[in-house]
Structures are given as structure tokens and as C-alpha cells.
């Protein structure tokens, strides 16, 4: 029996203190879940590299990688780069680009950590006796199960995030929308310039500087979609925001939606990921992705929403960050509650697990 455990969006080393795996008791829960696991897939945004220099995030995450390495000794660990830790694969992508005619990128490239980046090599060193490799932009877990971080969906999302708007601008510069039958290079041509700009800001950030800026999306959500009495500025923002979004759409940077309710965030994410599956021609019965931090499908979710137009079933690996704005309600009830993992065993469908559902907000908050 071969078992793979997939987790994503750990955001280790972030300055906001929301990465729950910095807590030894939380790491112990994950380590216990790894008993009997043959392969651990860290499916992107493992490090938070947008809050400051890369060395800062690495130093803060050393204990995590050493403990994972001890637990997974003799077994496999796969690192996948996301958008917040895109720097893990940038040196390899840059070397590839030096070729006169770079080889076309497929759905699965295997790269030795030392060739991926010095940061990936350092992570592999801390992982010790685990067999560590880098896969980009994803990997086939079985012939019918494909896993990728999911940040490519930002090109099709209707949620007006910074990356969605930035990608829309670069799309106009590089010559139009992603083709119906696209390659990974078509996506990267529109997304990598946004990542490079953000990464450069983080590289030169003073203490706390970048961290303040990265919370803007969460603060906007609090103002626009929060429940209960809201101050005047929130009501004004709620009135003006739809006008701003409509103007961006008219400018050709959409289509975008001003609806930031939980159901619409979920639907927008699933529609966009389904479009990635279709345009990249991912012929899989199941696709596992992260990025949105919204685990699923959950028992009360409509399964039709989690099925792409191609018939592929979508699965989201959630996150390991505690964002108070997104975890309202009783412990473990929010779809954004940290501690999600997806277990893939033999021929069974991928199964979502909530490893931290029994922990309280007090246990997880910074």
C-alpha cells in the first residue's frame, strides 16, 4: 500500500506570525500524521518569501525541515514552488532560458534541489536522510491524480487581487489572453513579471515593511465582507469598491467581480482552476491544488462545483495559516481552518483530512 500526504500553503517564516507550524505542538500533530506515509508533497507556498529576504524565512523554518527530515528518513519528500515561494525555482528557470531554443515546459519537471535554487538545496540539507526532489509546476501522484500549487488560476479569477490585476496588465503587454490550447510558458509569461516585482520588494524590505503591505487583501475583505456593525469608512469603501472594480473591468483588466462573499470566493476559485485544467489539457480524473487556502470539497459542498468542465474532480489542500478574518465560528468549522491535508492511498480517491480540527483558536493564534 503506497500512501502520499499532500499539504500546501504553510507560509513558513512569515512576519505576521500566522504560520501555525512554527508551534512545536502543531508540528507534532503533523509528524504523527506522517506515520506510514511513503511520500510527503509540500505543494507550494511552503515558505513566505514576500515578507522579507529569503534568508529570514529559511532561518525561521529550520526546525520544521529538520523534524520532517527525521520523520521521513528513507522516504520521499517533494517540494513544489508556489507563487509566494516562486524563488525556489527561479534559478533553474533562468538557466533553462539561456538555451537558444528552451525545451518546452510540461506538466511535470523533476529538478535536483541543488539545481533548482540554493534555497531548495538548503531545505533539502535540513531534510537530511529524506529523499528530497523538486517538481515543477506539479507532479503526477498516480496516472489519474495530478497535483500543482494552483497559482496559475489567477489569470482566470474574477476576484480583484493584486496578482489578478497585475497579470491582466502583463497579459496586454505580452500579446493577449492565454491560448485555448496553452503551454506552461504561456502562463509564466503573464505571471512571472508580477512575481519578480513583488520578490524584489521583499528582498529589500526593512523589518516589518513588506509584512504590512501583504495584509492589504485581508483588510479589504474585513471592510467589504465583514459581519456586524461597520465604521463609516467601511461603508464608504463598500460603496466605492464596486465602482472601482467595474472601472478596472471596463479598462480590460477583467472580468472582475466586487462580490467577496465566501460562496463567491469558492466559486471563483473553482471556475478559474477548471479553466487551467482545460487549457493546459490536464487529463486526470483528480487534480489537487492549494493556493486559495479554502479546503475542499467538504461534506456540505456541492460536488458539481468541484467538477471541471472536462469532468476532472478538483480537490483543495487548504492551508496551515491562522487568519482570524477567515476562521469565524467554532473551532475547525471554517473551510479556511488550518491543518488540512489530502491523503492519496493506492487506487482510492484523494481524501481530505482536517488534522487540526480539535485545536482551539487560542491554540493556533500567534
Per-residue pLDDT of the chain (366 residues; tens, 9 = 90+): 699 999 999 999 998 899 999 999 999 999 999 999 999 999 999 999 999 899 999 999 999 999 999 999 999 999 999 999 999 999 999 999 887 778 889 999 999 999 999 999 999 999 999 999 999 999 999 999 999 999 999 999 988 888 888 888 888 888 788 999 999 999 999 999 999 998 888 888 776 555 544 544 554 544 444 444 444 445 555 667 777 777 877 877 778 888 788 889 999 999 999 999 999 999 999 999 999 999 999 999 999 999 999 999 999 999 999 988 788 665 668 999 999 999 999 999 999 999 999 998 888 886
User: Phi and psi dihedrals of 342, rounded to 5?
Assistant: -120, 125
Angstrom distance (rounded) from CA 358 to CA 136: 34
Which three-class secondary structure state does DSSP give residue 324?
A: helix
Q: Per-residue b/e over 272-290, b at no fewer than 16 CB within 10 Å?
A: bbbbbbbbbebebebbbbb
Residue carrying C-alpha cell 519537471:
109
Angstrom distance (rounded) from CA 57 to CA 64: 12
What are the cell numbers at 298? 467538504
Which three-class secondary structure state does DSSP give residue 176?
A: coil
Q: Which pTM value belongs to this model? A: 0.92
Sheet holding 145-148, edge to edge: 138-142, 145-148, 286-289, 313-316
Q: Are 43 and 134 in contact (CB under 8 A)?
A: no
What are the cell numbers at 361? 483558536
Angstrom distance (rounded) from CA 318 to CA 283: 23
Distances, alpha carbon 298 to alpha carbons 238, 265, 267, 337, in Å: 30, 15, 14, 12
Amino acid at each position: 500500500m503506497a500512501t502520499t500526504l499532500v499539504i500546501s500553503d504553510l507560509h513558513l517564516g512569515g512576519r505576521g506570525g500566522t504560520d501555525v507550524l512554527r508551534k512545536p505542538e502543531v508540528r507534532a500533530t503533523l509528524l504523527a500524521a506522517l506515520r506510514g506515509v511513503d511520500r510527503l508533497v509540500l505543494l507550494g507556498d511552503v515558505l513566505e518569501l514576500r515578507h522579507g529576504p529569503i534568508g529570514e524565512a529559511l532561518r525561521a523554518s529550520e526546525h520544521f525541515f529538520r523534524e520532517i527530515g527525521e520523520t521521513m528518513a528513507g522516504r520521499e519528500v517533494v517540494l513544489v514552488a508556489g507563487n509566494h515561494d516562486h524563488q525556489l525555482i527561479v534559478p533553474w528557470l533562468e538557466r533553462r532560458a539561456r538555451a537558444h531554443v528552451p525545451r518546452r515546459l510540461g506538466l511535470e519537471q523533476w529538478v535536483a534541489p541543488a539545481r533548482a535554487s540554493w534555497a531548495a538545496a538548503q531545505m533539502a540539507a535540513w531534510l537530511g536522510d529524506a529523499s528530497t526532489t523538486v517538481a515543477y509546476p506539479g507532479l503526477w501522484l498516480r496516472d489519474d491524480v495530478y497535483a500543482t500549487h494552483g497559482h496559475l488560476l489567477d489569470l482566470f479569477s474574477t476576484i480583484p487581487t493584486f496578482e489578478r490585476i497585475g497579470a491582466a496588465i502583463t497579459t496586454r503587454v505580452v500579446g493577449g489572453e492565454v491560448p485555448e490550447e496553452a503551454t506552461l510558458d504561456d502562463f509564466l509569461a503573464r505571471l512571472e513579471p508580477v512575481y519578480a516585482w513583488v520578490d524584489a520588494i521583499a528582498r529589500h524590505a526593512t523589518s516589518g515593511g513588506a509584512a504590512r503591505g501583504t495584509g492589504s487583501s485581508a483588510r479589504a475583505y474585513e471592510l467589504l465582507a465583514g459581519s456586524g456593525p461597520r465604521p463609516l469608512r467601511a461603508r464608504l469603501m463598500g460603496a466605492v469598491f464596486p465602482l472601482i472594480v467595474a472601472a478596472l473591468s471596463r479598462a480590460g483588466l477583467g472580468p472582475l467581480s466586487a462580490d467577496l462573499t465566501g460562496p463567491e470566493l469558492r466559486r471563483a476559485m473553482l471556475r478559474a482552476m477548471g479553466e487551467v485544467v482545460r487549457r493546459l489539457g490536464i487529463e486526470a480524473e483528480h487534480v489537487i491544488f492549494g493556493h486559495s487556502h479554502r479546503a475542499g470539497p467538504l461534506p456540505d459542498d456541492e460536488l458539481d462545483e468541484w467538477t471541471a468542465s472536462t469532468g476532472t474532480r478538483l480537490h483543495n489542500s487548504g492551508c496551515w495559516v491562522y487568519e482570524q478574518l477567515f476562521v469565524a465560528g467554532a473551532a475547525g468549522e471554517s473551510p479556511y481552518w488550518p491543518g488540512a491535508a489530502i491523503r492519496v492511498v493506492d487506487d482510492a480517491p484523494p481524501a481530505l483530512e482536517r488534522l487540526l480540527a480539535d485545536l482551539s483558536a487560542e491554540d493556533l493564534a500567534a
